[in-house]
């Protein structure tokens, strides 16, 4: 494992990219309503990133991915491809945004509730966000990668949810996905030691049902095998001298 330690200049460029990615999620919220298609959401985000931010939507053509954002609805776990499907009241959807600005990536995702959502769906969304925050709170110099995964797994399983294991967080910078891998399960005091200048995502995927997933014939969209609801949240952050800095924090968030 070769973990890239970012310089102060690189950290500043990643702050810019992270802020832009967060801004896209702030912008798109008012458009996530019953009747809109995920293809329309993709077009709005694409135009905003390219025309307003003068940035690049990283997913477009990445390893053949055909769209500029990922949209994962209900039992879709991650990497959903925007299409002609219309959102309906009661749906939950993860919108995953990655922008490239000045050569550096900002990567973040958020859950949205469409219309009136069931209490159990709302609770899944809330606990998944808490799990991400709990993982982030483990980040400090001297901690280990396993501490992050353990904290997330402990919280999720205490609520009788399951943690998806086939996908994980990742190092990020000039490269979209680089070392280290950030597992969302594991044992404390295991894995690589965290050091200032490391930059990575934490992005747990939590299921109401069993953890097992499969990838559909499109080669991208991952779904729960038992068709149970799944939720995901994601932030990009850096290890600092005293703890962490979240690059993709949104205006609506008060997490410290």
pLDDT > 90 in the chain, percent: 96
In tens, the pLDDT along 13-40 reads: 999 999 999 999 999 999 999 999 999 9
pLDDT > 70 in the chain, percent: 99
In tens, the pLDDT along 114-172 reads: 999 999 999 999 999 999 999 999 999 999 999 999 999 999 999 999 999 999 999 99
Could you identify the residue written with the tokens 């109401």? 208
Structural domains counted in the chain = 1
What average pLDDT score do residues 229-236 get? Answer: 98
Given this model, what pLDDT does residue 57 score? Answer: 98
What average pLDDT score do residues 212-217 get? Answer: 97
| Inside any domain, residue 152 | yes
| Inside any domain, residue 2 | no
Could you identify the residue written with the tokens 């694409």? 46
| Inside any domain, residue 253 | no
| Inside any domain, residue 241 | yes
What average pLDDT score do residues 184-207 get? Answer: 97
| Inside any domain, residue 255 | no
Residue 14 CA to its chain's centroid (Å): 16
| Inside any domain, residue 3 | no
N residues, the chain: 256
Residue 2 has pLDDT above 90, yes or no: no
| Inside any domain, residue 239 | yes
| Inside any domain, residue 1 | no
Cα–Cα distance measured from residue 50 to residue 52, given in angstroms and rounded to the nearest whole number:
6
Q: What is the mean pLDDT of the chain?
A: 97
Q: Containing domain of residue 124, as a range?
A: 8-246
Given this model, what pLDDT does residue 256 score? Answer: 57
Q: pLDDT-based confidence at 255, cuts 50/70/90?
A: low
234: domain CATH number is 3.90.230.10
In tens, the pLDDT along 50-93 reads: 999 999 999 999 999 999 999 999 999 999 999 999 999 999 99
Q: pLDDT-based confidence at 99, cuts 50/70/90?
A: very high
Given this model, what pLDDT does residue 47 score? Answer: 98
What average pLDDT score do residues 174-202 get? Answer: 97
């Amino acid at each position: 494992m070769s973990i890239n330690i970012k310089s102060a200049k690189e950290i500043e460029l990643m702050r810019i990219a992270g802020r832009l990615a967060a801004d896209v999620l702030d912008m798109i919220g008012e458009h996530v309503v019953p009747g809109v298609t995920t293809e329309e959401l993709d077009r709005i985000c694409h135009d905003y990133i390219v025309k307003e931010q003068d940035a690049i939507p990283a997913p477009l053509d990445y390893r053949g991915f055909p769209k500029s954002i990922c949209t994962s609805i209900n039992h879709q776990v991650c990497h959903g491809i925007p299409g002609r499907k219309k959102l309906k009241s009661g749906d939950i959807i993860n919108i995953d945004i990655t922008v490239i600005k000045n050569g550096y990536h900002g990567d973040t995702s958020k859950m949205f509730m469409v219309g009136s959502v069931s209490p159990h769906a709302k609770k899944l969304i809330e606990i998944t966000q808490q799990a991400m925050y709990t993982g982030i709170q483990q980040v400090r110099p001297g901690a280990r990668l396993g501490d992050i995964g353990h904290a997330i797994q402990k919280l999720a399983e205490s609520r009788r949810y399951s943690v998806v294991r086939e996908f994980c967080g990742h190092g990020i910078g000039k490269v979209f996905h680089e070392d280290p891998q950030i597992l969302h399960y594991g044992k404390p005091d295991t894995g690589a030691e965290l050091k200032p200048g490391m930059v990575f995502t934490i992005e747990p995927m939590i299921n109401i049902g069993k953890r097992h997933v499969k990838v559909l014939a499109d080669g991208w969209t991952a779904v729960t095998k038992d068709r149970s609801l799944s939720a995901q949240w994601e932030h990009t952050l850096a290890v600092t001298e005293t703890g962490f800095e979240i690059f993709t924090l949104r205006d609506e968030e008060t997490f410290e």
